[in-house]
Structure 1
Amino acid sequence: MESLTATYITRAEIWLCITTLLYFLMNGAQIFETLLFVPKWASSPPDTLKLLQDENGVSLKFFWIILHSLHEITFILAIAFCWKIDPVRNWLLILLIIHVAVRVWTLAFFAPNIIQFQNLASATSVSQEIITRISLWKTLNYIRVAVYIAVSIGFIPLCIKVLSFRQ
């Protein structure tokens, strides 16, 4: 590792801590949504699917778009400002790969399904196949949230490592 200046370490600390805090904020929102909101909208379709509609329900679309965008910008900045700190950079890249994989999974599976569930809110009934898909969505969402939590926990030793350079 090349010589690291105090300014470099300070910037690395700031951006790594910001992205870690945003990740934990995202985890809190995901846990809230998973434990309280998802069981509510999934409990009695199609009636409860109205909760997913933008105009009548709790639209979380903009919240998630903004939070993920902010977090991903700070994540990239953390990598950039930690680039000269080899072990931290390498672990950040691993965490980023995992994060991107889960985001791709979200965009490929979770988002299209939730949009379809929203569109069924005005239906008089839903098929057993839709009920099965809602159940699968809920189950896989537990796994998705667990992976995000694991990634956020992975930030903690990196923050400790960067903060230890101050000594």
Structure 2
Amino acid sequence: MTDLILPATALATALAFIGLGGGLYEVGVIDPAWPRRPDLIQPDHGGISRKRFWIPAHATFEVLLVIALALSWSIADVRFWLLVAMASHTVMRFWSAFDFIPKALAFEKAAPGPETEAAARRWTRRSLARLPLDILDCGAMLAATIAAAGIA
């Protein structure tokens, strides 16, 4: 089973970085534009469907993180960093589930207008605060991969 620790941890790390890349893309490309043009994030109006990326990205990362953690539970150095990543990711996911996702779904149905634009701008500014949690995920996953490579 120890032969699987490094591949599982490395793959979960790659998925964490893919998630960070998706977050950076949203913050850098999508978020500056959509408050003025909500149709850009409204799939019913030809806009992007963010859930087509985020649901599989998070689900696969979370499954692989749990697998890596189960495989490496007896190895303190790897386990520590995986638990840090899990804690950070859990905070970000709960915050998203109870704050960001419900508002994002409402924006996907909202009509354009000054009130919608102002609320969207506030949402995009607050969304930036999630990036440090993603960066922490990636750093902890990278540290776990390095620790796993040391035992391989």
Partner of 1:52: 41
CA RMSD of aligned residues (A): 1.5
For residues 46-67 of structure 1, give each alpha carbon's deviation from its aligned partner in whole angstroms, at most 9, with x where no partner exists.
xx10111113111111221111
Identify the residue that residue 148 of structure 1 maps to in structure 2: 134
The alpha-carbon deviation at position 107 of structure 1 amounts to: 0.9
Q: CA deviation at 1:157?
A: 1.9
Aligned to 1:4: none
CA contact (8 A) 2:38 2:110 kept: yes
DSSP-derived class of the 2:34 partner: helix
Runs of 4+ deviating beyond 4 Å? none
Unpaired stretches in structure 2, ≥5 consecutive residues: none
Of the three residues 99, 107, 118, the one matched with 1:109 is 99
CA distance in structure 1 between the aligned counterparts of 2:143 and 2:102, rounded to whole angstroms: 35
TM-score by length of 2: 0.91
Shift in Å, 1:116: 1.4
Pair 1:21-2:14 in alignment = yes
Q: For residues 88 and 69 of structure 1, what CA distance do their matches in structure 2 show?
A: 21
Identify unmatched segments of 5+ residues in structure 1.
Answer: 1-6
Distance in 2 (alpha carbons) for counterparts of 1:115 and 1:96: 25
Provide the TM-score with structure 1 as the length reference.
0.84
Secondary structure at the aligned position of 1:57 is classed as: coil
Equivalence for 2:33? 40
Please state which structure has a larger fraction of its residues in helix: 2
**Separation (CA, whole Å) in 1 of partners of 2:85 and 2:60:** 17
